[in-house]
Structure 1
Amino acid sequence: MLYDEPGSGGAPLLWGPGFALAGFLLELALGGPTHVVAWAVIGVGLFLASALWVYARRRFLSVRVTDMVLWQGREALPVERIAEVRDGDPPARAKPLGGGYTVPRKYQEVPLTLDDGRAVLAWARDAEALRAALRRALDAWENRRHE
């Protein structure tokens, strides 16, 4: 693995149960009636909602680079199809990888030229690290090809 950006960590899974526990403890501290079942249902409901959110982010916003494949969300691009990793501004009308219409918000663009001459946009939170990983993958592919 040359680059791995999972899209989301596991910490958001604890937010819902943590809020529910805080609500229960606040009721307990105030000395009023406590609603154990209600707080448990709220905690489970918030956990399930955040689990769906984490799953979606991991599926659609993950970025991985191996010496063979660039994964952008749901889309896999073999490294052998990449002709050039470009610096600078992306060309007009370059299609983002990953199946979306635009590069995800808060992600930086990395312009690529494919072997058929088309320009596409890879994306990551750290564009320089992705660019470096893609160049290492291209070097590894070139070395394998010439062996």
Structure 2
Amino acid sequence: MNIRKATETDIDQVWNIFSKVIETGDTYVFNPNTPKRDLTKHWFADYMQTYVLEENGQILGTYIIKPNQIDLGNHIANCSYMVSPKAQGKGIGKKLCEHSLKIAKENSFEGIQFNIVVSTNKGAVELWKKYGFKIIGTTPKGFRHAELGLVDTFIMFKDLNE
């Protein structure tokens, strides 16, 4: 498995992952009917870096890293991760997280903040905790879950200088 910066030639494979992950309406704020043309602004915008994890020419996972805020808040990173549903359980989320921590430090970020982690996404919450992220806030009923209705979301943070 290799993690590298994404290129325009990766858009179709990244779209396949992105569209499958959001269609369930249970982990990401993106509308399950988001059109492919919007992928560029959500996952390939100029102000973010996009990475892919590939094996034998197949992209199995992807993540973005960007400043969480502009100007005086740009020393804190924000990341989003997606793993192909066909490749779950292979440790890809762990590899993407580890890589993003390295990239964040290389880019002189002081920390990483996840603004919205759906509380019912237990796998993600536990993975982020394993890597030292702490829940620093809860937004009551912050997410319209496709099956469960309104559920809480977490703000999670990791100080990269600890």
TM-score (norm 2): 0.23
Higher-Rg member (1/2):
1
Higher relative contact order (CA 8 A, sep 6+): 1
